[in-house]
Chains A and B, each alone.
Chain A
Amino acid sequence: MIHFVLLVSRQGKVRLTKWYSPYTQKERSKVIRELSGVILNRGPKLCNFIEWRGYKVVYKRYASLYFCMCIDAEDNELEVLEIIHHYVEILDRYFGSVCELDLIFHFHKAYYILDELLIAGELQESSKKTVARIISAQDQMVEAAKEEAGSISYIIAQAT
């Protein structure tokens, strides 16, 4: 299973963290510090796996961002690389050629998409199309609610 997902920028800034196993706040920052130190310092030609505290961390760099997932030692590392790529492709489709800024200002969207992809540290959907459909359906519900709220507050504003 995937124990956590981490997005770290080239400068070591955290862009997304998702924990599927219990880590206290202290442990979380320690893990992030430790791993980003190791990963950011690895050369470009090396393999994408790090053995770490009895787990494996699979990471892949896309432009300025490192996508990292921590898995059990016996899990399939190559598949996790595919899952990371799967996630990136969905992000890319959603934002339209995604860049780091998209993930900073719309970080919550990145989380929503991840939640449609993974639950309990396991993959839930292999179709990018399905994920995109479910996300856009929920986005529409939010938009609809906003409009409604907007019109009500407009009426209230008018009335007073």
Chain B
Amino acid sequence: MNSIFSGTRLRDMIRSIRACKTAAEERGVVRKECADIRASINENDPHDRHRNLAKLMFIHMLGYPTHFGQMECLKLIASPGFPEKRIGYLGLMLLLDERQEVLMLVTNSLKQDLNHTNQYVVGLALCALGNICSAEMARDLAPEVERLIQFRDPNIRKKAALCSTRIVRKVPDLAENFVNAASSLLKEKHHGVLITGVQLCYELCTISEEALEYFRKKCTEGLIKTLRDITNSAYQPEYDVAGITDPFLHIRLLKLLRVLGHGDADASDLMTDILAQVATKTESNKNAGNAVLYECVETIMAIEDTSSLRVLAINILGRFLSNRDNNIRYVALNMLMKAIAFDDQAVQRHRVTILECVKDPDASIRKRALELVSLLVNENNVKQLTKELIDYLEISDEDFKEDLSAKICSIVEKFSPEKIWYIDQMLKVLSEAGKFVKDDVWHALIVVISNASELHGYTVRALYKAVLTYSEQETLVRVAIWCIGEYGDLLVNNVGMLGIEDPITVTESDAVDVVEDAITRHNSDMTTKAMALVALLKLSSRFPSISERIKDIIVKQKGSLLLEMQQRAIEFNSIVDRHKNIRSSLVERMPVLDEATFNVRRAGSLPASVSTMAKPSVSIPNGVAAAPLVDLLDLGSDDILAAPSSSGADFLQDLLGVDLGSSEVQSGATPGPKAGADLLMDILSIGTPSPSPAQNNTSSVDLLSTAGINNNPSTALDTLSSPAPPHIATTASAGGMFDLLDGLSPSPSKEATNGPAYPPIVAYESSTLKIEFTFSKPSGNLQETNVQATFINLSPNTFTDFIFQAAVPKFLQLHLDPASSNTLPASGNITQNLKVTNSQHGKKSLVMRMRIGYKVNGKDVLEEGQINNFPRGL
């Protein structure tokens, strides 16, 4: 019959593709074949369709686009002959998926074929429907499938049953229609029908509570009997796998019994005997037997309390765990995680074996074991387990270190009995795997260190020693330079020696060496370098004798290619050089960080990931967080007069680059003396001798502004605090900045606020949300500004529970009207009016921090930002 066809045969095409030596050659052959097929499709010759599609499927498997063949599938399916239909359905399942609209066109053909007289055609249609139907098709064809569950031939019944599972998965509302048909399948003798029937019942039980109740009442006993029969049945060659009759049926029955028994004591009671029988009698020397045992153990764990059975189950798992087959050990670890919930002691007995599994060469087993170990940890064994894990960290594969160190950190944080132990363990982890440690972990460590005042000396010395050996571990270096900057004097003078310490001799220049090393190393990143620079500034005050050397190091950074580094280097240099009188108070030790606040913030920014440590990532709102040093000065400049008591903590967190997505509106939430930080900020933002309040204000601007002489403080402030000020970049010549820093030329700050029109601004923009402000001033009151905020949803999802919060420094008063709606539809917008009263009108410009909370698909989203780009003169 091939004689009348044109083109190559399938076999020849496969041969020529296989003969290709290079990918380019293969592409050439495929391109030519595709061209032939397209031509043949255009001729619309029904004889070639069959073969064209077969070729296309092969080409598709190689990864080439074959969408032009989709319609051919439909044509083949619509043709009357069985061979055409068979290949047509195969092509349909291969080339299309449920999301393609072309698929809808096949619904009618499917409907006809489901009613076909030939059972194999019906089988093909059921198979296609079961594999790729969309929700719409499921709805359309559900009645046909439901009818076919009662079909005379078992081959069709089983296919219809599985097709129904797909239908109810796609459209759970249809579940109740299938309950009766499904329960009738449970009485079948044919294994295929029984397997699929049990599967359908399982699916229905997971979808519908009513179905679950129905099957529990009507079918539990029958299922138990079926399981008993099959367990006790004589050898049946057709279904025998390694001495077990139909393990697949076993497993499905056990699975269905599991959902029936779960949460129902009576049903659980009924199945105790048969479960015990399966658990004890199943051969465990072959995989099939172990698969059944594994399922049985899972069922025993899930059903209502039958403690003797559970002992049996745990024993099986113990046997699994000592099995030499990796697969068996893997599932044992998996199950023990569930077992831990009700019998911690039994699992603890296997602790040594589980720890061994953490060191297994197999990554899958290691991962499971590590999860399990972290569940096994409690106050009593934390020290021992942590030691084991840290010992292993030293020798583990590089790619496992990330998981392992994250796990150790979470264990240590959760169960640490005392601070010194915590610090010790964290230092070990940072030393071994510092480059894998996530930001929030070392931030937390710094908070703890800052709180443990009696350990400051000990910690800084330990860090110093560690960093000499492990200087390539970035996070270790960061923590070390932070501590050296803060507590460098304790390092040099051996202050606060603990009994367990060996005295070390560190000279001042040794300490500076470490910091210099960090700032000059080429692979240190921006954060590390910035921290090192701040540490140097601090050390210049702590170690006055070598402040010249420190100055030299700082001066070198004037040539840094990183703008922020360059700028700060110049500023710091000036502080070291010319302002010795204020330097010591400027760089006083950081106030103690509030641990509780930090933890709350941390938990808030890392929902659910703190315990599992799966992916602890610090979220940084778009465009708000900038380089740490920008934040440092930024905060100082706008909050300084307004809320000095609260900015200390913020300040440090911003300094560290942490943006923990939480309220900074909490004035006074961080009690305690903050004089040091305030002073620091005072100086950075306000500048030195200030003859009058008004000048004070302007001089602050001049001190920090790089944007040339400007007669308006607000613009200068804007330039300073916007994260990426474009004109700083262009005008930031070192010399000019230098002058500006020192040039205390108080400039007249007279406002020119006669024009009532203020340009609207984009206050905030992220990938999902844009906020625009428009302004108007009521006549007669210059201090007041009416702001209309428009929130625009840029995402395709609707935001619900939308709430906008704003905070302003004390010289401002803010009044918020309710928003026009709390639901923000996709691409829609809502508005909200704000009234701002500026008590220092003409002297200071508006600044505002805001927080926006909303829900997308039930998930909470929080976005934050700071608005510095208000038009001048408001």
Contact = CB atoms under 8 A, between A and B. Distances in A.
B77 to A, nearest CB: 15
Contacts of A98: none
A93 interface: no
Interface in B185-206: 191-192, 195-196, 199
A119 B192 contact: no
Contacts of B239: 126-127
A24 B507 CA distance: 64
**Closest 10 A/B residue pairs (Cβ):** A78-B291, A47-B326, A120-B166, A119-B162, A119-B130, A46-B362, A125-B192, A126-B248, A120-B130, A142-B83
A118 to B, nearest CB: 8
B130 A47 contact: no
Nearest to B155: A134
Interface in B1-21: 1, 4, 11, 14, 18
A94 interface: no
B534 interface: no
6 contacts: A78-B328, A82-B287, A83-B248, A119-B126, A126-B195, A141-B83
Contact of A17 (B61, B120, B255, B363): B61
Contacts of B165: 120, 122
Interface string B235-257: 00011010000111101000100
B162 A120 contact: yes
A81 interface: yes
Interface of B: 1, 4, 11, 14, 18, 54, 57-58, 61-63, 65, 81-83, 86-87, 90, 93-94, 97-99, 120, 123, 126-127, 130-131, 155, 158-159, 162-163, 165-166, 169, 191-192, 195-196, 199, 238-239, 241, 246-249, 251, 255, 287-288, 290-291, 294-295, 298, 326-331, 361-365, 367
Given A125-B192, A127-B239, 17 more contacts: A18-B93, A47-B326, A47-B364, A76-B251, A78-B294, A82-B287, A115-B93, A119-B126, A119-B127, A120-B131, A123-B195, A124-B195, A126-B191, A134-B120, A138-B82, A142-B82, A146-B1
Interface in A73-116: 76-79, 81-83, 86, 104-105, 107-108, 111-112, 115
A104 B14 contact: yes
Contacts of B163: 119-120
B28 to A, nearest CB: 18
A69 to B, nearest CB: 14
A49 B63 contact: no
Contact of B364 (A49, A83, A150): A49
A130 B158 CA distance: 12
B327 A48 contact: yes
Nearest to B98: A22
B90 to A, nearest CB: 6
A145 B82 contact: yes
A141 B287 CA distance: 38
A122 B1 contact: no
Given A23-B97, A47-B362, A108-B54, A79 B251 contact: yes
A65 interface: no
B92 to A, nearest CB: 12
Contact of B327 (A20, A78, A105): A78
B97 A81 contact: no
Nearest to A134: B155
A15 interface: yes
Nearest to B18: A104
Contacts of A82: 241, 247-248, 287-288, 291
Given A111-B94, A119-B162, A146-B83, A24 B99 contact: yes
A79 B97 contact: no
Interface in A131-150: 134, 137-138, 141-142, 145-146, 149-150
B1 A150 contact: yes
Which of the four size classes fits the interface of chain A? 35 or more
Q: Which of A29, A43, A130, A157 has the most CB of B within 10 A?
A: A130
A160 B306 CA distance: 82
Contacts of B4: 153, 157
Contact of A77 (B131, B327, B362): B327
Given A108-B57, A115-B127, A125 B158 contact: yes
Contacts of B169: 120
Nearest to B329: A47
B202 to A, nearest CB: 9
B497 to A, nearest CB: 48
Contacts of A22: 97-99
Contacts of A111: 90, 94
B82 A76 contact: no
A79 to B, nearest CB: 4
Contacts of B57: 107-108
Contacts of A40: none
A17 B809 CA distance: 62
Contacts of B326: 45-48
Contact of A76 (B130, B246, B291): B291
A128 B1 CA distance: 33
B120 A78 contact: no
A7 B215 CA distance: 38
Nearest to B160: A119
A49 B327 CA distance: 7
A158 interface: no
A149 B1 contact: yes
A22 B195 CA distance: 25
B155 to A, nearest CB: 6
Contacts of B298: 76
A19 interface: yes
B247 A77 contact: no
A115 B369 CA distance: 37
Contacts of A25: 65
A3 B362 CA distance: 24
Contacts of B158: 124-125
**Which of A51, A120, A123, A134 has the most CB atoms of chain B within a 10 A radius of its CB?**
A120
Given A81-B327, A122-B199, A105 B14 contact: yes
A35 interface: no
Contacts of A130: 155, 192, 238
Contacts of A86: 241, 248
A141 B120 contact: yes
A112 B238 contact: no
Given A25-B65, A124-B159, A127-B239, A78 B287 contact: yes
B436 to A, nearest CB: 19
B5 to A, nearest CB: 10
A149 B93 CA distance: 26
Given A76-B294, A77-B327, A145 B83 contact: yes
Contacts of A107: 57-58, 61
Contacts of B327: 47-49, 77-78, 81
Contacts of A127: 191-192, 238-239
B11 A105 contact: yes
